[in-house]
């Protein structure tokens, strides 16, 4: 079975802090994704990566950056957290076109 | 960005009832995916469809790839309490093979 893990299930940070969210997949997938999920807005793609050191902006990249130094690991960085970044963050990976496998999510609260 | 139109947005049913939901798009899709998300968890892939007209089952779940390639349907038979959650349809948009677009979800609530 594909396993996608995220470093924290719950995280509380203060406004202005730098925040790192880590995601690791164990199935040698090429593609990795970061989404945020908010009530009424569904799943929105922040960034994705189709290879090591490669990244592409999704629909809402502002205020975020990413890093992919190793194939199995994809990090989401909030350079200066703000309250409007309070959300559920979901990481996913895929090998085939379409089929993405999600991690359990990180619920981030910025106060 | 492009989204899929999923309906209904929510359903309140009795345990044991059958459930139907659907997803439509203005564009042709070559793949349809159905996910379920339990409260506080990430979405889990239930069924993947790759061919127009395809009908695929996974236990009590059955999904169909519409013949026009612009819609898909998910049915759940004889619902049980653990079916509660949000069901999402998704698919790779035209020209954006590595990404997915998602429906807004159907929230299923079951009264025992």
Task: Give the pLDDT confidence of A23-80 residue by residue, as tens digits.
Answer: 999 999 999 999 999 988 889 999 999 999 999 999 999 999 999 999 999 999 999 9
Band (A91; pLDDT cuts 50, 70, 90): very high
CA–chain centroid gap for B37, Å, is 11
Q: In the 3-class helix/strand/coil scheme, how is chain B assigned residue by residue?
A: CCCEEEECCEEEEECCCCEEEEEECCCCCCCEEEEEECCCCCCEEEEEECCCCCEEEECCEEEEECCCCCEEEEEECCCCHHHCEEEEEEECCCCCCCCCEEECCEEEEEEC
- Residue A82 clears pLDDT 60, i.e. is over it: yes
The residue of chain A with its CA nearest to that of B93 is A98
B4: nearest CA partner in chain A? A42
- Assess B56–A contact: CB distance below 8 Å, yes or no: no
pLDDT at residue A21, rounded to an integer: 98
The arrangement of strands across the sheet holding A73-78 comes to A4-6, A19-25, A73-78, A64-70
Per-residue pLDDT, A4: 96
Q: Do B44 and A102 touch (CB under 8 A)?
A: yes
Q: Is A19 on the interface with B (CB under 8 A)?
A: no
Q: What is the pLDDT of residue B95?
A: 75
Q: Report the alpha-carbon distance of residue A101 to residue A99 in Å, rounded.
A: 7
Listed as ranges, residues in chain B with pLDDT below 50 are: none
Question: Mean of the pLDDT values across residues A95-102?
Answer: 85
List the single residue in B with minimal CA-CA distance to A38. B104
pLDDT at position B112, please? Answer: 79
Chain B residues whose beta carbon lies within 8 Å of the beta carbon of residue A107: 40
Q: Which pLDDT belongs to residue A48?
A: 94
Nearest residue to A108 (alpha-carbon basis) of A4, A5, A3, A6? A6
pLDDT of A85 strictly over 90: yes
Q: How much is the pLDDT for B98?
A: 76
Measured between CB atoms, does A59 come within 8 Å of chain B?
yes
Which pLDDT value is given to residue A2? 67
């Amino acid at each position: 079975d594909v396993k996608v893990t995220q470093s924290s299930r719950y995280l509380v940070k203060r406004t202005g802090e730098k925040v790192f969210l880590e995601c690791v997949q164990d199935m040698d997938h090429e593609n990795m994704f970061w989404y945020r999920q908010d009530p009424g807005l569904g799943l929105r793609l922040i960034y994705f990566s189709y290879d090591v050191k490669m990244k592409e902006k999704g629909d809402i990249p502002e205020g975020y950056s990413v890093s992919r130094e190793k194939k199995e690991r994809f990090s989401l960085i909030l350079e200066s957290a703000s309250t409007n970044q309070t959300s559920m963050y979901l990481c996913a990976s895929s090998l085939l076109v379409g089929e993405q496998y999600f991690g359990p999510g990180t619920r981030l609260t910025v106060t | 960005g492009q989204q899929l139109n999923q309906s209904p947005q929510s359903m309140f049913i009795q345990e044991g009832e059958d459930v139907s939901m659907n997803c439509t798009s203005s564009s042709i899709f070559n793949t349809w995916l159905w996910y379920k998300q339990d409260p506080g968890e990430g979405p889990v892939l239930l069924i993947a469809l790759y061919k127009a007209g395809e009908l695929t089952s996974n236990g009590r779940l059955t999904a169909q790839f519409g013949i026009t390639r612009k819609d898909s349907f998910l049915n759940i038979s004889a619902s049980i309490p653990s079916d509660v959650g949000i069901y999402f349809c998704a698919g790779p948009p035209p020209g954006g093979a590595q990404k997915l677009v998602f429906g807004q979800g159907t929230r299923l609530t079951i009264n025992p």
